[in-house]
């Protein structure tokens, strides 16, 4: 649900982070098989607002991380990190996953279990400290 909401947010056509969060939460509320706790709803909203506030910093960080790892280009793995044609659905999905992972890893300090180990290692270990500081500054007021 959150990855889909991130994709909507990153598309730039779904409105603000608050709008995207409200739509995602409304859609989830209509599902009789799973209801979110108030804490989960707050976390989803917060992550989408952070992603909106830091979208430029996240994009730059993601592109710099990919550029810093030669094996990614050698194996033509850029789309799996969300770097590539904006019209590529796979790249868009991966961009949402990787940006969310960067937020969780470097802003929240949490664990990420929704990306494979190769991507996780790069996203966790490759970003330079100044880029992480920039990301944290971008979400400081959210």
Domain ranges of the chain: 2-138
Give the contacts of 21 (CB within 8 A, at least 6 positions apart): 5, 44, 45, 48, 49
Which residue reads 């850029």 in tokens? 78
pLDDT digits (tens, 9 = 90+) for 14-72: 889 999 999 999 999 888 888 899 999 999 999 999 999 999 999 999 999 999 999 99
User: How many Cα neighbours within 13 Å face the side chain of 67?
Assistant: 7
Q: Are the beta carbons of 28 and 34 closer than 8 angstroms? A: yes
Structure tokens at 64: 């710099």
pLDDT digits (tens, 9 = 90+) for 58-107: 999 999 999 999 999 999 999 999 998 888 999 999 999 999 999 999 99
């Amino acid at each position: 649900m959150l990855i889909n909401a991130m994709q909507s947010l990153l598309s730039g056509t779904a409105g603000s982070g608050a709008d995207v969060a409200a739509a995602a939460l409304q859609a989830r509320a209509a599902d009789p098989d799973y209801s979110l706790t108030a804490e989960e709803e707050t976390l989803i909203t917060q992550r989408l607002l952070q992603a909106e506030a830091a979208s430029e910093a996240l994009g730059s960080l993601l592109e710099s991380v990919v550029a810093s790892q030669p094996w990614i280009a050698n194996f033509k793995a850029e789309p799996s990190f969300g770097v590539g044609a904006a019209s590529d659905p796979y790249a868009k999905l991966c961009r949402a996953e990787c940006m969310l992972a960067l937020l969780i890893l470097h802003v929240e300090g949490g664990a990420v279990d929704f990306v494979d180990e190769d991507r996780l290692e790069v996203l966790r270990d490759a970003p330079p400290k100044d880029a992480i500081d920039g990301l944290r500054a971008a979400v400081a007021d959210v």
